Amino acid sequence: MPHYFFDLRDGDAFVQDNEGTDLIDIVEAQIEAAEYLADAVKELSMRLPGAAGHPMTIEVRDLRGALFQVGFDLSDQLGSDAIDERRLGAKMDRGH
């Protein structure tokens, strides 16, 4: 069974996965990376509200080297006023 490592780049910080995980194939590794990234972004949003411009990447490798990466960048391109207007519009659309 292939062995995959999931290294995390969180802004300027790097956390190397030295243990890794046995998974059936690369598709399972992609799912694991996406779930790991989603959990890390959720934790970041609770830890640093308004963390605009904060990149996060999961770099996946096996014993031979790098395979792929999954990334997310919390950007505030619309600005907080535009986001508040969108939220208000969404609430009005749902009848709230």
What is the model's pLDDT at position 74? Answer: 66
pLDDT digit string (tens) for 40-78? 878 876 666 655 667 889 999 999 999 999 998 766 554
What is the model's pLDDT at position 88? Answer: 43
* Rounded mean pLDDT, 84-95: 46
Task: Output the average pLDDT for the chain.
Answer: 79
SS (H, E, C) the chain: CCEEEEEEEECCEEECCCCCEECCCHHHHHHHHHHHHHHHHHHHHHHCCCCCCEEEEEEEEECCEEEEEEEEEECCCCCHHHHHHHHHHHHHHCCC
In CATH terms, the fold of domain 3-93 is: Enolase-like; domain 1 (3.30.390)
What is the model's pLDDT at position 55? Answer: 84
